[in-house]
Amino acid sequence: MKLGHEQSSQPEKGWRGRAGRREASARGPWDAFDALLLIGGPIRGQLAIRVENGDTPATLGATLALCSFFRVHHVLIGQSSIAAALLHQTTTTTTTTPAASLTCHSPTMLVRVRSKDGNFRFEFAPNDTVAQLVAKILETSPDAEPATLTISNVPRGNETLASTLQQNQTLSDIGLKHGDLVFVGYQARAAPSSSAAARPVESTGAATSTSSGGDRAQKVWETVAEDPVDQYWRSKDGKIPRGRDTQFCKHGPNAMCDHCMPLEPYDAGYHTEHNVKHLSYHAYLQKLQPKGSKATSTTSTLPPLNPLSYKVKVPCPSGGHPNWPLGICTACQPSAITLQSQPFRMVDHLEIASVDIVDRFLQAWRKTGTQRFGWMIGRYEPYDKVPMGVKAVVEAIHEPPQLGDLDGLTLGLPWEEEPRIRELAKLASAPLTIVGYIFTDLVTDPEDKTVNIYKRHPQSFFLAGLEAIFAAKIQLANPTPSRSSPTGSFASRMVTAVLTGTEDGQIDISAYQVSEQACAMVEADMIEASIDPGIIRVKEEDRSEDSARYVPDVFFRYKNEYGLEVKKSAKPCFPVEYLLVNVSHGFPQSPSPLFRSTKFAIENRPGLEDQNMEGVMRELSRLGAPALTESGGGDSSKRSELLRYLSDWHLVAFLETTQLLQPDDIKILLQVASAADLDDTSAFNKLIHTEGWRNLMVFTQEMAPERPSASAPTSSHTAMDEDIPPEVFEQIAREQAASQGGTRGASPPQDNIRICPHC
């Protein structure tokens, strides 16, 4: 054991090497006496006794007796389990009583916990149990299901169910130390409405309980808040207007017939004539909903959409056998799957607000040759080229931390900054969100570096199997709120965009979504990528308890060489095209992007572009930002140039991380950056009166270089004088000051002598 001074109540971290502290080892009763003499003198504070492996009860008993003899206040630290065992043996084998006044304590350690609810820090002792740690975690996660709680020492992988750990194990026994970070995952509890619907009501009959449960579940889809574009189309009938047919219409101008009456938004003839492959989401809803009056039809008030699920129902509705994987029947197993083209799509068109957005994104690939990934920030708007269509308008591309390679990239998920970026995007003048993601797949021709290889085409693949599975996981994580689904959400509007080479060697965008069948198969863990990028492999069935997986029969249809439609089993693999939904794309003819500038350095490009406050303040000083006051003061051209500089998504996102501006100031700054009219200075006038902007201007003024007091000599060639750097003026001023100081008492210099700054 170790004996030494303990003059503070701090944890024992760093106890051995603390300055001004003396310690001694004791391996026996006489060693303890010598150790006390070695420390010597009147001990102030308290004596720390560290118990270690190998210590005997005799050594501990002798040490405690000596402490009582010398009237020393002592404290026992170290491994509490060893100390308690030795203390018990000491009190049973010796007759000394000083142990009764012993104070045992273990050094406090800090354990950090990170979950989707945030980051938390808790103080524990090494002898605290796993049950205490789980209780602390559940306090911070009220929606967590305790049975699904997992802990891990890494962000992804190595998850262990907390319920499988021995609850009486100490934190030190499972390897936790001071400062360790624990990653926590869990599944949320079931919604109260669904649980209330599942509980039978004993006081009423079966029909009453079913009706009561249905009414409670109905509130889920009736109270959900849909996107503004969904609210817009729900207020419209979506009819396709037609003009008067000069050949078949025989009626007057105020009449209507079958040849000129408006068409339904899901009319098959109109879609075939205009080359529209998929119905829009709301046109599909119009097709599913009955045409009767809501007042007379009961089914018109029920949600028409049912999310797909290929999982085994647990528990079984019949209740006649043990749950999967111990038993299965036709009531709980999913039906056979026939892959087919999805008749609708959630997003009909992808629109990039400006060519500069894509060109700026491609600069990293042009300079390094490595692939890049970015989240598309934008909004959803009505699309008039498709009946009741929806388009995703991209206003910026935010790049997360990534590691690019020549033929791929490595991306960390979940994205830690996603909540911050989503909240920041909502503050724009037109609220924005994440509408999808974009990545590059560009390989130049070895013989001609200006030509890109055409690698994605009908004879190879459009979207690789691994990319399709990744798209399905992203869509599952971002469902669309819907009043037409009993769960309150249906499908997703996340778009996958690929920048790849075209047939003529140029660069173009391809946009896709994956079908609901693909998302359901990924959710049920039924498919995986294969070596061939154009092939998806169906996994084998697994009945083990830890990783149970049921795979029903999967089929797909295709036309054989005789033009006949053939149904074939999708096991073990099938083409990835059966899971894709095409999305058109383009650029507006008259671009009016929300953010006017893309010149600021883009985030997470280390070594290529660096974001720093020095560059921001240098640019603000160049634009004369500190001198601008109200709309009437300052140079109008400088004001316009400053507003254009501030209208940059990457600049606003960077300034939020510096904490120079308060959240309210960031909101005003983003309103200025995304203003529809930059000439309207009302928002900018609010910005210059905020405390954060004033602090930024103070720092800008302090960092700005001062112009020398000595002005340039007057000359008719003012353009040449403007080219003279300020350092030359400073040198002239120093020489003039030196000459004036050195010639005191002598004859003053002649006034007609002029110095040329160019020589």
% of residues, the chain, pLDDT over 70? 72
Q: Where are the beta strands (DSSP E) in 518-586?
A: 527-529, 535-538, 554-559, 565-569, 573-575, 580-586
Neighbouring C-alpha atoms within 13 Å toward the C-beta of 208: 5
H, E, C per residue of 55-112 = CCHHHHHHHHHHHHHCCCCEEEEECHHHHHHHHHHHHHHCCCCHHHHCCECCCCEEEE
Long-range contact set of residues 459-462: C-beta below 8 Å, sequence gap at least 24? 460/533, 460/534, 461/533, 461/534, 461/576, 462/510, 462/512, 462/576, 462/577, 462/580
> Where in the chain are the domains?
2-101, 109-185, 344-558+568-586, 613-703, 709-759
Asked if residue 708 has pLDDT above 70, the reply is no
CB neighbour list of residue 75: distance below 8 Å, 6 or more residues apart: 6, 46, 47, 48, 49, 103, 105
Question: Residue 637: its pLDDT value, please?
Answer: 81
12-26, 210-224, 406-420, 704-718: range with highest mean pLDDT: 406-420
Residue that has been written with the tokens 């013989």 in this structure: 447
End-to-end CA distance of the chain: 81
Residue that has been written with the tokens 């404290």 in this structure: 75
Question: Residue 2: its pLDDT value, please?
Answer: 60
Q: Give the residue with greater pLDDT, 8 vs 265.
A: 265
Task: Report residue 507 as tokens.
Answer: 């660069």
Asked if residue 645 has pLDDT above 90, the reply is yes
Neighbours of 491 (CB within 10 A): 25
Task: Report residue 613 as tokens.
Answer: 């406050």
Instruction: Answer whether 168's CB lies under 8 Å from 159's CB.
Output: no
Q: Which of 488, 493, 540 is nearest to 512 (CA)?
A: 493
Asked if residue 97 has pLDDT above 90, the reply is no
Neighbouring C-alpha atoms within 13 Å toward the C-beta of 667: 7
Neighbours of 103 (CB within 10 A): 10
Residues 115, 77: Cα–Cα separation, whole Å: 32
Q: Give the CATH fold of the 109-185 domain.
A: Ubiquitin-like (UB roll) (3.10.20)
Long-range contact set of residues 138-143: C-beta below 8 Å, sequence gap at least 24? 140/113, 140/115, 141/115, 141/117, 141/184, 141/186, 143/188, 143/189
Question: Residue 506: its pLDDT value, please?
Answer: 93
Residues 616, 221: Cα–Cα separation, whole Å: 47
Task: Report residue 528 as tokens.
Answer: 């995986």
Question: Residue 200: its pLDDT value, please?
Answer: 38
- Angle at which helix 57-69 crosses helix 29-39, to 10 degrees, equals 40
Distances (CA, A) of 42 to 6, 70, 72, 416, 586: 13, 9, 9, 55, 85
Neighbours of 693 (CB within 10 A): 20
Question: Residue 300: its pLDDT value, please?
Answer: 59
Neighbours of 629 (CB within 10 A): 11
Residue 141 banded pLDDT, cuts 50, 70, 90: confident
Residue 703 banded pLDDT, cuts 50, 70, 90: confident
Asked if residue 197 has pLDDT above 90, the reply is no
Q: Give the residue with greater pLDDT, 223 vs 350.
A: 350
3-class DSSP state of 569: strand
Q: How, if at all, do strands 409-411 and 495-501 pair?
A: unpaired
Neighbouring C-alpha atoms within 13 Å toward the C-beta of 463: 28
Residue 656 banded pLDDT, cuts 50, 70, 90: very high
Neighbours of 332 (CB within 10 A): 21
Taking only the tens place, the pLDDT of each residue in 557-610 is: 888 888 888 999 999 999 999 999 999 999 999 999 999 999 999 999 998 999
Residues 526, 540: Cα–Cα separation, whole Å: 8
DSSP track, 256-307:
--TTTSPBPTT-HHHHHHTT--SEEHHHHHHHHS-SS-TTT-SGGGS-----
Asked if residue 16 has pLDDT above 60, the reply is no
Peptide bond between residue 315 and the one before it cis (omega within 30 degrees of 0): yes
Residue 133 banded pLDDT, cuts 50, 70, 90: confident
CB neighbour list of residue 707: distance below 8 Å, 6 or more residues apart: 726, 729
Question: Residue 204: its pLDDT value, please?
Answer: 36
Q: Round the CA-based radius of gyration of the chain to a whole number and report it.
A: 37
Asked if residue 418 has pLDDT above 90, the reply is yes
Written as one letter, the residue type at 675 is: A
pLDDT (mean) for 653-657: 94
Task: Report residue 721 as tokens.
Answer: 């004088």
Instruction: Answer whether 153's CB lies under 8 Å from 133's CB.
Output: no
Residue that has been written with the tokens 């129902």 in this structure: 313
Task: Report residue 315 as tokens.
Answer: 């528990």
3-class DSSP state of 721: helix
Residues 142, 753: Cα–Cα separation, whole Å: 84
Asked if residue 128 has pLDDT above 50, the reply is yes
Task: Report residue 266 as tokens.
Answer: 């899901």
CB neighbour list of residue 659: distance below 8 Å, 6 or more residues apart: none
Residues 113, 732: Cα–Cα separation, whole Å: 62
CA angle 147-148-154, nearest 5°?
Answer: 135
Candidate from 277-291, 606-620, 625-639, 685-699 with smallest mean pLDDT? 625-639
Question: Residue 496: its pLDDT value, please?
Answer: 97
Neighbours of 523 (CB within 10 A): 16
Give 605's strand partners: 609
Mean pLDDT in the chain? 79
Instruction: Answer whether 524's CB lies under 8 Å from 310's CB.
Output: yes
Q: What are φ and ψ of residue 507, in 5° steps?
A: -115, 135
Question: Residue 457: its pLDDT value, please?
Answer: 92
Residue 507 banded pLDDT, cuts 50, 70, 90: very high
Q: Give the residue with greater pLDDT, 751 vs 493.
A: 493
CATH class of 344-558+568-586: alpha beta
Check residue 196 and give left, alpha or beta (phi > 0: left; psi -120 to 50: alpha).
alpha
Written as one letter, the residue type at 59 is: T
**In degrees to the nearest 10, what's the CA dihedral of 542, 548, 553, 554?**
-100
Asked if residue 211 has pLDDT above 60, the reply is no
